[in-house]
């Protein structure tokens, strides 16, 4: 059964290129629609909850920067379009699952560093996304960082 709608999740670093390449290949070979998503994590979340200062301005800058990078990616890859690109605040696993369900995606593509030892204990987004995913998940192996 071919995939119909592929959701590629990107962290907007230079490492997202191999992840997009794989998702593009699959979208072409399956004749599937290709959607793109990036999640901006709220800064308070990254700092572990309560932060005794106003982060709203910094948060807005972070969001604007992400929007700009996402737009550059869309220009770089003709298979991607603004219409099927999503930028939201939240926790990556939760938001990616939510979007995959909402858009009835049947495959999520993420990058994976194949971590070992201590890094493995710290977890990875790929692992996180895999657990409780509403559809298939493909983890594209990235170079060790
Ligand atoms: P990480 O485990 O954080 O190194 O990320 C591995 C992969 O998870 C990345 O290559 C992306 O596919 C995905 N990912 C990580 N962070 C995000 C994010 N904020 N939004 C969307 N996808 C992400």
> Mean per-residue pLDDT for 33-56?
79
Q: Is 9 left (phi over 0), alpha (psi -120 to 50) or beta?
A: beta
In the chain, where the domains are located: 5-141
The closest residue, in CA terms, to atom 12 on ligand 1 is 110
Other CB atoms within 10 A of residue 62 CB: 17
Tell me the pTM.
0.91
> Mean per-residue pLDDT for 10-34?
95
- Homologous superfamily of 5-141: HUPs (3.40.50.620)
Sequence-distant (6+) residues with CB within 8 A of 86 are 35, 36, 37, 38, 99
Residue 27 near residue 79 (C-beta atoms within 8 A): yes
Mean residue pLDDT of the chain comes to 90
> Mean per-residue pLDDT for 116-142?
85
Rg value, the chain, Cα: 15
Cβ < 6 A, ligand 1 pocket = 9-11, 15, 19, 37-39, 92, 110-111, 113, 124-126
Compute the distance from residue 133 Cα to the ligand 1 centre, in Å. 15
pLDDT at 109 over 60: yes
Q: Is 136 helix (H, G, I), strand (E, B) or coil?
A: strand
pLDDT at 114 over 80: no
């Amino acid at each position: 059964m071919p995939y119909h709608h592929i959701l590629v999740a990107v962290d907007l670093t230079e490492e997202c290129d191999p992840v997009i390449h794989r998702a593009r290949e699959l979208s072409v070979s399956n004749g599937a629609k290709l959607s793109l998503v990036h999640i901006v994590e709220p800064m308070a979340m990254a700092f572990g909850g309560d932060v005794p200062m106003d982060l709203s301005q910094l948060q807005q800058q972070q969001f604007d920067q992400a929007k700009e990078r996402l737009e550059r990616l869309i220009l770089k890859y003709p298979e991607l379009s603004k219409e099927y690109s999503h930028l939201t605040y939240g926790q990556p696993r939760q938001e990616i699952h939510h979007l995959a369900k909402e858009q009835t995606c049947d495959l999520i593509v993420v990058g994976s560093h194949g971590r070992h030892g201590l890094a493995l204990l710290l977890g990875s987004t790929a692992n996180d996304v895999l657990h409780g995913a509403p559809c298939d998940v493909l983890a594209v192996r990235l170079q060790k960082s």
